[in-house]
Amino acid sequence: MDQSVHPSSLSMRWRVDVCKEIPEDLWKACDRASAFFKSKYIVSSGGVADKFESLKVPDIDVRDYILRLIFYLGMSESQFLLAIEYIDRYMLARRVGLTEKTMHRLAGIAMVLAHKFDSDFPFSDSHYARVTGMHREELMMLQMEFLLIIGYRLMYPQVLRRI
């Protein structure tokens, strides 16, 4: 499978390949996280300007985007749960809600950071950039911004350490 495919060009074949590769528990966790993002954090656009805000709403649904990242990063369930924890830390620190223009980038950055933190052999920033659909420089800048906001707290919370 070509890893340089842009996230907005998902085909039915890609979805079929993903269905075969992603464990059912991780698939269900993705569905729950996607619904959680859409229901709890969505606020109307406007208000506080955010570096994570894209110019337009991405063409890909956040669920498909998350599945794409899980597939191409080979994320474990614990890494995915850690990424959700990172987003929660970000939301608490910023006291702003997700919008349709920030959701994808925040999910992408959180998942990249969780994968880097928990992997013995993380990928190159170029690979992460291709998978997230961002430019490498933008990816690196957003990672730094995200880390500053969460106070560089990347450790697993106590509840996940017991799993």
The full 3-state SS of 94-142, as one line of letters, equals HCCCECCCCHHHHHHHHHHHHHHHHCCCCCCHHHHHHHHCCCHHHHHHH
Two tokens at 33? 């996280």
- The first and second tokens of residue 103, run together, are 């959701």
Mean pLDDT (whole number) for 40-60: 68
1 is a domain residue: no
Average pLDDT over residues 49-64: 83
- Give the pLDDT mean for 96-102: 78
pLDDT average, residue stretch 81-108: 86
* Domain total of the chain: 1
pTM: 0.75
Range of the domain at 122: 9-161
Say if residue 15's pLDDT is above 80.
Answer: no
Residue 2 counted as domain residue: no
Count Cβ atoms within 10 A of the Cβ of residue 25 and give its class: 0-12 exposed, 13-18 middle, 19 or more buried.
exposed
Q: Does 20 or 145 have the greater pLDDT score?
A: 145
DSSP designation for 4: T
- Structural domain includes residue 4: no
- Greatest mean pLDDT range, 92-96, 97-101, 104-108: 104-108
For residues 118 and 100, the model is more confident at 118
Poorest-confidence range of 43-52, 80-89, 134-143?
43-52
Residue 65 falls in which region: left (phi positive, over 0), alpha (psi -120 to 50) or beta: alpha
Tokens 């956040």 belong to 62
User: Residue 21's domain is classified under what CATH number?
Assistant: 1.10.472.10
pLDDT tier for residue 146 given thresholds of 50, 70 and 90: very high
High-pLDDT (> 90) share of the chain, %: 37
| Domain-located, residue 22 | yes
Structural domain contains residue 137:
yes
